[in-house]
Amino acid sequence: MRIFVPRETRPGERRVPVVPAGAKRLAQLGAEVEVEANAGAAIGAADADYTAAGAAISRDRRQSLCAADLVLRLNKPPVEEIPLLKKGAIHVSHLDPFNERALIEALARAGVSAIAMELIPRTTLAQQMDALSSQANLAGYVAVIMAAARLNRILPMMMTPAGMITPARVFVIGAGVAGLQAIATAKRLGARVEAFDTRPVVEDQVKSLGARFVKLDLGETGQTRNGYARALTSEQIQRQRDAMAKHCAEADIVITTAQVFGRKAPLIVTTGMVKGMRPGSVVVDLAAETGGNVECVRAGEEVDVQGVRVLGFTNLAGYAPVNASQVYSSNVGSLVEHFWDRERKTFNVNREDEIIRGCLVTHAGEIVNEIVRNAGSK
């Protein structure tokens, strides 16, 4: 089986889908691994590093896409490259399937078996393949570092001959993977941390990291069977905003991480709440790319709202490209390894498997993922 790793072409993208160690892992399965020239340059991985790992270097992207049995990417493919893929080829990457209907339909028409990394089920067995969690973990870390670099004061308490410096206050909204890492990072830097989540079940996790869990009475809330927060009603969202205004006003840093998978991010922090914060404070919205939790956020930008810096940078994991590439490469490597037929030396698209059922979007000319198919029919 021929595996091809093309160079990422998304503007500003510094992550790569497969690092040299990942290429070696794939080659050891018996696959013929081909990596596009300069694919690893953004993280300092030279072509020679890939050849030493057992991969061949391709200098003809078009030809390699046409010949590949399995294509491994990080970001969704350019629509114009889909017709180059041969019928029956397997394509693995993020696909944003709920917002990229034309892309999904093009993959189906091409007869490609498309696997969406963001649809990997959140199960114990699939944990090593969970790219959403691995990237969110780094995003949570980067969010705190970005905020700390822009804050007009230090985070830890400090005893000095001139007196005591009190710790900065950090308020994290959403205690999923990104939120928990943000909490842990802020605590390691010495901040006083509070956190809120609509799922009461995460209270113990928040407390175990040394943060205070903020309890708000919103009525019935909870999480989906995949561990995502359930969408709140408009009334619950308003009650949440009203209660959070005080916590935001007291915070030096507010980090929002709330997202509802496959839907626009919920608006949690209003412009009025941002204006109620002290000048010099910082807000980081990790959901900026999907609409934002903060009313005045601008995706990809940093804006000033009466002295409060609001950061809406996207692809935060990409600000730590070496580590983000390492963990993503491990995710796709685990996926390939798990479904690798060692006798035939090929990737087995086993549609009876729970993991494949969850992440396979198109196959044999059809959109086979029921959730994605139904979303497109609404």
Taking only the tens place, the pLDDT of each residue in 98-132 is 999 999 999 999 999 999 999 999 999 999 999 99
What integer pLDDT is reported at residue 242 of this predicted model? 81
Model's pTM, two decimal places? 0.92
For residue 206, CA distances in Å to 174, 182, 183, 184, 214 come to: 10, 11, 8, 9, 10
As a whole number, the mean pLDDT across the chain is: 94
Contact predicate 17/55, CB 8 Å? no
Per DSSP bridges, beta strands 163-165 and 158-160 are antiparallel
Q: Which of 101, 122, 188, 239 is catalytic?
A: 122
- Active-site residue, 252 included: no
- Active-site residue, 133 included: yes
What integer pLDDT is reported at residue 195 of this predicted model? 96
For residue 196, give the 3-state DSSP assignment: strand
- Active-site residue, 197 included: no
What integer pLDDT is reported at residue 100 of this predicted model? 95
Q: Which of 2, 61, 228, 357 is catalytic?
A: 228
Nearest of 113, 109, 114, 69 to residue 93 by alpha carbon: 114
Q: Which of 7, 47, 130, 205 is catalytic?
A: 130
What integer pLDDT is reported at residue 230 of this predicted model? 61
Q: What confidence tier does 261 reach under pLDDT thresholds 50, 70, 90?
A: confident
Percentage above 70 pLDDT, the chain: 95
The 10s digit of each residue's pLDDT in 190-219 is 999 999 998 888 999 999 999 999 987 766
Q: Which of 58, 113, 133, 240 is catalytic?
A: 133
- Active-site residue, 259 included: no
Contact predicate 108/354, CB 8 Å? no
pLDDT of residue 44 exceeding 80, the answer is yes
The 10s digit of each residue's pLDDT in 160-184 is 999 999 999 999 999 999 999 999 9
- Active-site residue, 130 included: yes
Q: Which of 127, 128, 241, 298 is catalytic?
A: 127
pLDDT of residue 227 exceeding 60, the answer is no
What integer pLDDT is reported at residue 232 of this predicted model? 67
Q: What confidence tier does 241 reach under pLDDT thresholds 50, 70, 90?
A: confident
Compute CA 332 distance to the chain's CA centroid, rounded to the nearest angstrom: 14
Compute CA 11 distance to the chain's CA centroid, rounded to the nearest angstrom: 17
- Half-sphere exposure (Cβ direction) of 296: Cα atoms closer than 13 Å: 18
Spell out the domains of the chain, with CATH numbers in brackets. 2-119+321-368 (3.40.50.720), 136-319 (3.40.50.720)
The residues with which 310 forms a beta bridge, in sequence order, are 283, 303
For residue 366, give the 3-state DSSP assignment: strand
The 10s digit of each residue's pLDDT in 283-305 is 999 999 999 999 999 999 999 99
